[in-house]
Amino acid sequence: MEEILTFKVNEEYAGLRLDQFLAKVYPEYSRSYYQDLIEKGFILKEDKPIKKPSLKVKVGESYTVIIPPPQPLEVVPENIPLKVYYEDEDLAVVYKPPGMVVHPSVGHTSGTLVNALLYHFKNVSTYQGKERAGIVHRLDKDTAGLIIVAKSEFTHKELQKMFQNREIDKRYKAIVVGIVKKDHGIIDLPIGRSIYDRQKMGTVATNLRDALTEYWVEKRWEKHNLTMVDIKLHTGRTHQIRVHFSAIGHPLLNDQVYGFKKSKLGSSLAVELSNILNYHALVAYSLTFKHPRTNKDLHIQLEKLPEPIPYIIEKLDG
């Protein structure tokens, strides 16, 4: 069944090409996918197809996007570089770089983490289908960090139970806009599909589900109006960290979907550093859990945060 979406242009996006605008307001699909939809007449303005990807959008205009029904995906192994932090016969822990989609979908049929897993591992669980081979949990496209990969159906099912029972400790580091006042805090705000924008999650929403995020402040850069926080997820809702910090007035650096604005940065240096970061400043840096078969304690952590975040921290520290 086709999906129909409508997007209205606000001042933030005025002057962008149509394909750029769509990729920014609904990044579930790639810019090239939107270009293909435009050329096929699936993008409408006032019920008329627009077939020019380079068309500049204007404030107040509305565009309707028709997403055709998904075609069966052919998932093939691809020789994509993959950093493995832990591996045994049951599971692996790998690093997903920012900009990589976890599993294939319409608009992202190659270059995904699953394509890489199928190439690098002889065995990987297809318990939930080949399109999601080995995938037990997800990270957003622009979130970098560690992901657990199931290599057997037994491990897949056990890890799913562990996630559901909140037995896996997931830690993140983020740079957020504004000065977070409390050294330690808990954000307890249910999350659901936003009533204002159906393509986003929010705390004013339908189908609300409990969501709990705990954080500790690591650094405050008063001059630059930025704070670095260490985060523990107690639940795993879609976009949870991004939604929660936006809800308390501290959107993630460069997270334009959830409220980031360069005008809120406190210095020209902060703006310059924002410009060199091509993803939002959120990294899943640590996983701690018991091995589902051996019950052995596992703690896997990145040896360092991905660039350019260490460079950004160094410059902000001055």
pLDDT for res 202: 87
pLDDT for res 3: 83
Percent of the chain with pLDDT over 70: 96
Concatenate the DSSP letters of all residues of 43-95 into one string. EEETTEE---TTPBP-TT-EEEEEEPPPPPP---------EEEEE-SSEEEEE
Write down all domains in the chain, each with its CATH number in brackets: 3-67 (3.10.290.10), 71-165 (3.30.2350.10), 171-283+312-317 (3.30.2350.10)
* Whether the predicted model's global pTM rises above the 0.85 cut: no
Per residue in 73-93, pLDDT tens?
678 999 999 999 999 999 999
Q: Which residues of the chain have pLDDT under 70?
A: 1, 70-73, 106-107, 195-196, 198-199, 206
Average pLDDT, the chain: 93
Angstrom distance (rounded) from CA 172 to CA 252: 12
Per residue in 44-67, pLDDT tens?
998 899 999 999 999 999 999 998
pLDDT for res 71: 65
pLDDT for res 130: 87
User: Which residues are catalytic, by number?
Assistant: 140
Angstrom distance (rounded) from CA 111 to CA 100: 7
Q: In Å, what is the CA distance from 20 to each residue of 55, 63, 143, 176, 270?
A: 10, 13, 20, 25, 25
Query: Do the beta carbons of residue 306 and residue 97 sit within 8 Å?
Result: yes
pLDDT for res 205: 73
pLDDT for res 230: 98
